[in-house]
Structure 1
Amino acid sequence: MFQLEGKVAMITGGSKGIGLGMAHCLGRMGAKLAISSRGLDDLEHAKKELSNEGYDVMATSVDVTNKESVNAWVDEVIGHFGEVHILVNNAGTNIRKPLIEVEEEDWDRVLDTNLKGVFLVGQAVAKQLINQGKGGRIINISSIFGGVGSSFQTSYASSKGGINQLTKVWAHELADKNINVNALAPGYIKTPMTAGWLDDKERYNQIINQTMVKRVGELQDLEGPLLLLASDASNYMTGQTIYVDGGWTAQ
């Protein structure tokens, strides 16, 4: 039920962190991988890492805030693999500042990447899935801050709340095309990029005390929920946001 043999998965922000971890997970279950990000060096490193594991992978530099760049990527993936079946809409950024210090440029950068980027990539892939006529999966990567408030998250929380709503709207529109749209909302996840930040003992303790399980998440904690949403195991699920947060949002 969870096998992805013969499936093609597109992953934005797939060159490092959560996106790269998700690429590894989908590759292990048999999916062919099309990863994207802006940074060429990170992409080449990620492609080599994934290829060394035996996965069929292509890597493309894409600006998710630019419609032409996004459409060109979809065309490239179809030209290489022939079809697409799964989208992991993961690319994102954050600028943490108090409300009164948030600049207009900060707001635009975060909302353009996190929300406009999700919209542009989701729209382009949805068009392709509809044209293929075989259904598919769109998985938008949200956050606990799409559902709860926290200081210094004005732009980020707004973008992730928007993703949760996009997920519901798209689920309504695409259900009759057999395209399931769901969101995955992680809490704090330890990755090579966040490890140094989480080494601050005071900050780490503040975070884990917000959870029921008293720890931050690991990349492998996202694998089960990801495979659920990417596979036939979630055939009767759409329009949902699944929180993977150690119980943070349930308190």
Structure 2
Amino acid sequence: MRTVRELFSLEGKTAVVTGGSRGLGLQMAEALGEQGARVLVAARKQAELDEACAHLAARGIEACSIAADLSDEAAIGGFAEEALRRLGQVDILVNNAGATWGAPAEEFPVEAWDKVMNLNVRSVFLLCQAFGRLSMIPRGRGRIVNIASIAGLGGNPPGTMQTIAYNSSKAAVINFTRTLAGEWGRYGITVNAIAPGFFPSKMTRGILAAVGADRLAQQAPLGRLGDDEDLKGAVVLFASDAGKHITGQVLAVDGGVSAV
């Protein structure tokens, strides 16, 4: 019987983290690497990826990167093949890349709707399909962690956000996670989702300024926003053998916001 330390170890594993050049993605890439995984981070801008890899290397983590626009269906096949060429296999896929857009529903641009849906939902499906076919299903094992949001668990209070596409996309990710877990359990693949609350990031900068970070923190039972450690434990649980009997689940990491 393995110890708890051994169950949480990712030694010998490989991980792909999309949107991994900064913020929550980089935090999760760091966590996986700290547990022993070799990590490949993906994002659109190579300069930011270079900074991320330097950040990870400074912490003793073996990391590489691929610059790709994962909202573009045509780019995903080539991205998956190159990731497998570099890593040999993909044990862990963290679908973190995402976009948002703020506008009243009655004025919401259809091109903005498509931008959000293409990256937040379509790319998640295509990446799961690609790495499932090419690496996980043939080997009979894999860990998929989709990054949803508490915005996918409900609507927005009046006077706060106007993000109908983002909320809809994250709700889709949640049910996608449950459905894929049901289909791929027979292949030894677990599929789970993390639903973060408010964390300071480039994506949330606007809403934190508009609504107020203090006001949003006060809405959480724990009385604070997420920080640069708060997703580490969750992603390692879902990525490691400590979570091998957990699939189709959504874990809110939100300071208790979704509980009240």
TM-score, normalized by the shorter chain, greater than 0.5:
yes
SS of the residue aligned with 2:212? helix
Instruction: Kindly provide the amino acid, as one letter, of the partner of residue 167 in structure 1.
Output: T
**After superposition, what is the alpha-carbon deviation per residue over 1:197-216, rounded to whole angstroms, capped at 9, x for unaligned?**
57749512331232111110
Give the 3-state SS of the residue equivalent to 1:189 in structure 2: coil
Cα distance in 2, alignment partners of residues 128 and 56 from structure 1: 23
Match of 2:195 among 173, 176, 185: 185
**Structure 1, unaligned runs of 5 or more:** none
TM superposition shift of 1:219: 2.2
User: 1:144 touches 1:187 (CA, 8 Å); kept in 2?
Assistant: yes
Kept in 2, the 8 Å contact 1:146–1:164? The answer is yes
Q: What is the CA–CA distance in structure 1 between the aligned matches of 2:211 and 2:118, rounded to whole Å?
A: 32
Alpha-carbon displacement from aligned partner over 1:151-201 (angstroms, at most 9, x marks no partner)? 40200000000000110110011000000000000000124x368557749
Q: 1:31 aligns with which of 34, 37, 42?
A: 37
The CA RMSD over aligned residues, in Å, is 1.7
Mapped partners of 2:34, 2:207: distance in 1: 28
Aligned partners of 1:83 and 1:132 also within 8 Å: no
- Which of 219, 222, 226 is the matching residue for 2:228? 219
CA distance in 2, matches of 1:129, 1:144: 30
Give 2:97's match in structure 1, choosing from 86, 91, 97: 91
Q: Mark the CA change 1:56 to 1:119 in structure 2 (over 3 Å): closer, same or farther.
A: same
Q: Is structure 2 residue 114 aligned with structure 1 residue 108?
A: yes
Q: CA deviation at 1:99?
A: 1.2
Moved more, 201-210 or 174-183: 201-210
Moved more, 170-179 or 111-120: 111-120
Q: Which residue of 2 aligns with 1:170?
A: 180
The structure-2 alpha-carbon separation of the partners of 1:200 and 1:43, relative to structure 1 and needing over 3 Å to count, comes to same
Structure 2 gaps, min length 5: 1-6
Identity %: 36
TM-score, normalised with respect to structure 2: 0.91
TM-score norm. by structure 1 comes to 0.94
Tell me the distance in 2 between the aligned counterparts of 1:196 and 1:77: 31
Tell me the matched-pair count: 250
For 1:175, give the aligned amino acid: G
- Shift in Å, 1:67: 3.0
Contact persistence 2:141–2:187 (CA under 8 A): yes
CA distance in 2, matches of 1:109, 1:65: 8
User: Which letter does structure 1 place at the counterpart of 2:221?
Assistant: M
The alpha-carbon deviation at position 102 of structure 1 amounts to 1.0
Q: How far apart in 1 are the matches of 2:194 and 2:90?
A: 20
Instruction: Measure the CA separation in 2 of the matches of 1:186 and 1:209.
Output: 16
Q: What aligned pairs does 1:135-214 form with structure 2 within 5 A after superposition?
A: 135-150=141-156, 151-191=161-201, 193=202, 197=206, 200=209, 203-214=212-223
Alignment partners' CA distance in 2, 1:199 and 1:130: 39
